[in-house]
Amino acid sequence: MIVDGSEGSLKQFLRTLPPVDQVGAEGRAAMLATRSIKTTSKNWAIDLAIRMVDLTTLEGADTPGKVRALCAKAVRPDPSDPTVPSVGAICVYNDMVKIARTELDNNGGQNIPVAAVSTAFPSGRASMEVKIRDTKDALENGAAEIDMVIDRGAFLSGRLGEVFDEIKAIKEVCGERAHLKVILETGELVTLDNVRKASYLAMLAGADFIKTSTGKVAPAATAPVVLVMLEAVRDYYKETGIRIGVKPAGGIRTTKDAMKQLVLVNETAGPEWLTPSLFRIGASALLNDLLMQRMKMRDGYYASPNYVTLD
């Protein structure tokens, strides 16, 4: 699976990938959604899902106060129950990275990484120079994970070399300092064939994670899309021995949604991917629903929503 990064070699390689049959992929995803997760397996999966959450705020209205509150929540999602694990990461815009890092460090969240959305998120419509500067800025402020967007315009017009080069350049900026998550924005790529091709393109260019969406475009992390991406990392591992992570983001709001994601992982990429270092869920509202369900499993009844903290 060696490509030299030239336009020609990429095109040639991506053409060798088997096509995706959309009806079949949707059927498989729908079948897996019927799995019934109860009792002990649900307890286990809820805690795993909490550890996989990239707790996210990506709003124009974000303030230092909002970000600090989110950090406190990330460290101790349920202040009344110390057995609840911390989340996987905090995900914010670049200018909030430093605030988040400091807040986490001062409040027992030293092990929680801060992920920054860089490269002119969410559209990616900026010059390469700006994108590199954007990424460096995030790293300098303490980001340990970079969530970059690909240039969907370049991908859709067939300039695959450009997409590849951008990912490669950002990966070089990240170096050993940060994990690189590559956002495909599958809602703009539209077809599952494109999702498969973009997944391979990102993996070949050096992505540590492939991520579905920015959360700003619908549809986002649909089950068939995540299925195809999980197949891609599974097959890539078989060819190269390297395990790439997957991060669905956008539209995963309930415990039930999260359980479906974990079933998809379990029966597609395999149980090796059921760890926060290889599977993350980009979400904000999801965490509270996980906490509510966790209380329900523990106490046997649903508590008032007021027992779960806002942000």
Please list the active-site residues.
147, 211, 247
Residue 59 makes CB contacts below 8 A (sequence gap 6+) with: 66
Nearer to other proteins, 35 or 133 (CB): 35
Nearest approach in angstroms of CB 270 to other proteins is 8
* Residue whose CB is less far from other proteins, 101 or 179: 179
Give a three-class secondary structure readout of 69-84: HHHHHHHCCCCCCCCC
Closest listed residue to residue 183, CA positions, set 262, 269, 249, 267: 249
As measured in angstroms, the least distance from the Cβ of 28 to other proteins is: 5
Please identify, using beta-carbon distances, which residue of 6 and 41 lies nearer to other proteins: 41
Tokens linked to 87 = 């989340």
Shortest distance, position 31 Cβ to other proteins, whole Å:
8
Strand segments, DSSP code E, in the chain are 53-56, 89-93, 114-118, 145-149, 179-183, 209-211, 245-247, 281-283
Binding region for other proteins (CB under 8 A): 18-21, 23-25, 27-28, 34-42, 44-45, 231, 241-243, 262-263, 266-267, 271-272, 274-275
Say if residue 128 is exposed, middle or buried (CB neighbours under 10 Å; 0-12, 13-18, 19+): middle
- How many angstroms from the chain centroid is the CA of residue 119? 16
- Nearest approach, Cβ of 203 to other proteins (angstroms)? 15
φ/ψ of residue 179, rounded to 5: -75, 140
Q: Output b/e per residue, 99-120; b: 16+ Cβ within 10 A.
A: bbbbbbeeeebeebbbbbbbbb
Contact 154, 122 (CB under 8 A): no
Minimum CB–partner distance for residue 36 and other proteins (Å): 4
Q: How far is the CB of 278 from other proteins (least distance, A)?
A: 9
Cβ closer to other proteins: 102 or 266?
266
Beta carbon nearer to other proteins, 181 or 196: 196
Which CB atom, from 40 or from 83, has the smaller least distance to other proteins? 40
Nearest to 185 by CA among 139, 125, 235: 125
Q: How far is 127 from 129, CA to CA, in rounded Å?
A: 5
Calpha distance 155→158 (Å, rounded): 5
226: closest CA among 1, 15, 20?
20
